[in-house]
Structure 1
Amino acid sequence: MAEEANSTGQTTTQPNPLKGATKKGALLGAIFLMATSAIGPGFITQTTTFTAEIGAAFAFAILLSILVDIAVQLNVWRVIGVSGLRAQELGNKVLPGVGYVMAALVVLGGLVFNIGNVAGTSLGMDALFGLDVKIGGTISAVIAIAIFLSRRAGIAMDRLVVVLGVVMIGLTTYVAIVSGPPVGEALRQAVLPDTIDFLVITTLVGGTVGGYITYAGAHRLVDSGGTGPEQVARVSRGSVVALVVTGVMRAVLFLAILGVVAGGVTLAAGNPAADAFQHAAGEVGLRLFGMVLWAAAITSVIGASYTSVSFVVTFSPALARRRNWLVIGFIAVSTAAFLLLNQAPTTLLILAGALNGLILPVGFGVLLWVAARRSDLMGGYRYPRWLLGIGVLAWLLTLYLGWNSLSGIADLWS
Structure 2
Amino acid sequence: MKRLPNTQAASPEGAKGRDRRVALFGAMFLMATSAIGPGFITQTTTFTARLGAAFAFAILASILVDIAVQLNVWRVIGISGMRAQTLGNRVLPGAGYLLAVLVAFGGLVFNVGNIGGTALGLNALAGVDVKIGGALSALIAIAIFLSRRAGVAIDRIVVVLGVVMVALTLYVAIVSGPPVGEALRQTVLPDSVDFLAITTLIGGTVGGYITYAGAHRLIDAGVTGPENTRQITRGSVTGILVTGVMRVILFLAVLGVVAGGFHLAADSTNPAGDIFQAAAGQLGLRLFGIVLWAAAITSVIGASYTSVSFLASLSPWLDRYRSWITVGFILVSAAIFELLGKAPANLLILAGALNGLILPVGLAVILWVAARRRDLMGGYRYPVWLIGIGVLAWALTIYLGWNSLSGITVLWS
TM-score for the superposition, normalised by structure 1 = 0.94
Contact 1:28 1:158 in 2 (8 A): no
Partner residue in 2 for 1:336: 335
Partner residue in 1 for 2:352: 353
TM-superposition CA deviations, 1:245-293 (whole Å, max 9, x none): 1001101110110010001111232211111101111111111221232
The more displaced of 156-165 and 116-125 is 156-165
Deviation at 1:313, TM superposition (A): 2.5
Give the letter for the 1:274 counterpart.
Answer: G
TM-superposition CA deviations, 1:46-73 (whole Å, max 9, x none): 1111111110000000010000000001
Contact 2:85 2:95 in 1 (8 A): yes
TM-superposition CA deviations, 1:322-380 (whole Å, max 9, x none): 33333222111111111111211011111111111111000111110000001111111
Partner residue in 1 for 2:215: 218
Contact 1:125 1:136 in 2 (8 A): yes
Contact 1:128 1:290 in 2 (8 A): yes
Distance 1:353 1:102, change over 3 A: same
Partner residue in 1 for 2:71: 74
SS of equivalent residue, structure 1 residue 110? helix
Deviation at 1:42, TM superposition (A): 1.1
Contact 1:35 1:246 in 2 (8 A): yes
Contact 2:13 2:20 in 1 (8 A): no
Partner residue in 2 for 1:116: 113
SS of equivalent residue, structure 2 residue 223? coil
Distance 1:361 1:117 in 2: 23
The more displaced of 202-211 and 154-163 is 154-163
Partner residue in 2 for 1:85: 82
Distance 2:134 2:144 in 1: 16
TM-superposition CA deviations, 1:299-337 (whole Å, max 9, x none): 221221121112122344443343333322211111111
Give the letter for the 1:142 counterpart.
Answer: L
Partner residue in 2 for 1:209: 206
Distance 1:175 1:97, change over 3 A: same
Partner residue in 2 for 1:287: 286
The more displaced of 60-69 and 305-314 is 305-314
Structure 2, unaligned stretches of length 5 or more?
A: none
Distance 1:25 1:2, change over 3 A: closer
Partner residue in 1 for 2:306: 307
TM-superposition CA deviations, 1:102-122 (whole Å, max 9, x none): 000000000000100110110
Distance 2:301 2:390 in 1: 27
Contact 2:11 2:220 in 1 (8 A): no
Give the letter for the 2:319 counterpart.
Answer: A
The more displaced of 266-275 and 190-199 is 266-275
Which residue, out of 164, 167, 170, partners 1:170? 167
Give the letter for the 1:306 counterpart.
Answer: Y
Structure 1, unaligned stretches of length 5 or more?
A: none
Partner residue in 1 for 2:366: 367
Distance 1:160 1:375, change over 3 A: farther
Distance 1:208 1:2, change over 3 A: closer
Partner residue in 1 for 2:129: 132
Distance 1:18 1:331 in 2: 32
Partner residue in 1 for 2:321: 322
Contact 2:213 2:306 in 1 (8 A): yes
Contact 2:3 2:152 in 1 (8 A): no
SS of equivalent residue, structure 1 residue 35? helix
The more displaced of 155-164 and 81-90 is 155-164
Aligned length: 410
The more displaced of 14-23 and 262-271 is 14-23
Distance 2:367 2:11 in 1: 21
Give the letter for the 1:17 counterpart.
Answer: G
Deviation at 1:165, TM superposition (A): 2.4
Contact 2:48 2:254 in 1 (8 A): yes
Distance 2:79 2:253 in 1: 38
Partner residue in 2 for 1:101: 98
Distance 1:12 1:4 in 2: 9
Distance 2:157 2:100 in 1: 26
SS of equivalent residue, structure 1 residue 211? coil
Distance 1:412 1:156 in 2: 36
Give the letter for the 2:168 counterpart.
Answer: L
Distance 1:3 1:282 in 2: 38
Contact 2:158 2:295 in 1 (8 A): no
Give the letter for the 2:144 counterpart.
Answer: I
Partner residue in 1 for 2:234: 237
Partner residue in 2 for 1:406: 405
Which residue, out of 32, 35, 38, partners 1:38? 35
Distance 1:3 1:184 in 2: 44
Distance 1:249 1:41 in 2: 13
TM-superposition CA deviations, 1:141-163 (whole Å, max 9, x none): 22222222122444444444333
Deviation at 1:13, TM superposition (A): 6.0
Deviation at 1:233, TM superposition (A): 1.1
The more displaced of 28-37 and 95-104 is 28-37
TM-superposition CA deviations, 1:190-219 (whole Å, max 9, x none): 111011011111111111111111111111
Deviation at 1:28, TM superposition (A): 1.9
* % identical aligned pairs: 73
Contact 2:364 2:394 in 1 (8 A): yes
Contact 2:207 2:359 in 1 (8 A): yes
Contact 1:26 1:158 in 2 (8 A): no
